[in-house]
Amino acid sequence: MSWSAPDDIFFSTSLAAYLDKKLLVLLRDGRKLMGLLRSFDQFANAVLEEAYERVIVGDLYCDIPLGLYIIRGENVVLIGELDIEKEELPAQMVQVSEAEIKRAQKAEKEAMLLKGTMRKRMEFLDLD
Amino acid sequence: MLFFSYFKDLVGQEVTVELKNDLAIRGTLHSVDQYLNIKLENTRVVDQDKYPHMLSVRNCFIRGSVVRYVQLPPDGVDVDLLHDAARREARGG
């Protein structure tokens, strides 16, 4: 794999343009990681410095610090450049502690399970 | 190679990329590579309220392996050209 010339950074699909920038990385398991891109390769493996996971449940969110991360490229869905002049999140969202967001996640999971079982019970009605 | 060449010709057009995780992003096609990784500029998420974390994202890199669809404007496609190219590839490859 040849190294692109400096000008190519701006026109190609390489992640070089994102180096040292604060990014949002979406993973296949739905996690949202944020941090500074320090390194990458042709598989979209990435090194994120000062990484944290932003957990969002409804209008609550929490940033859980992770430190230095190497992400295997096969898990990467999207790498987004955050516009520093724009708000990262809608105004109504509230930052909470890690304990509280974990509680909210558990409650959401249970609500989903309940929704699932209720739907199963209604299936015999053949409404759809 | 066929679709890589095809997407290279589409650079600058507005497209909507629908991902396998159901996220749909509209933006200007900035670049594409041999893996059909896509870079979009001026992005807006289709169902913004469902994806609050994407609010301030204006440019993004999308890994080719997670793309389900790339939605194009109907007049952005020369179907006959693609058809011929496919026939040529089939014969040669």
Q: Which CATH number goes with the domain that contains B12?
A: 2.30.30.100
What ipTM was estimated for this complex?
0.90
The secondary structure of residue B83, as a DSSP letter, is H
Share of chain A above pLDDT 70, in %: 91
Looking at the 3D structure of chain B, how many domains does it have?
1
Contact A24 B53 (CB under 8 A): yes
Contact A30 B21 (CB under 8 A): yes
Nearest to A13 among B57, B58, B61 (CB): B61
Domain that holds residue B39: 2-91
Region for residue A58 given its phi and psi (left: phi exceeds 0; alpha: psi -120 to 50; beta: otherwise): left
User: Is the pLDDT assigned to residue A7 strictly greater than 60?
Assistant: no
pTM value surpassing 0.90: no
Give the model confidence (pLDDT) of A59-97 as tens digits: 999 999 999 999 999 999 999 999 888 888 998 999 999
Q: Taking CB atoms and an 8 Å cutoff, what residues of chain A touch B62? A: 77-78
| Residue B18 C-alpha, separation from nearest chain A C-alpha, in angstroms | 11
Please provide residue B10's backbone torsions phi and psi, each rounded to the nearest 5 degrees: -90, -5
Chain A contact probe: residue of B25, B57, B58, B65 with most A CBs at under 10 A: B57
Q: Taking CB atoms and an 8 Å cutoff, what residues of chain A touch B39? A: 13
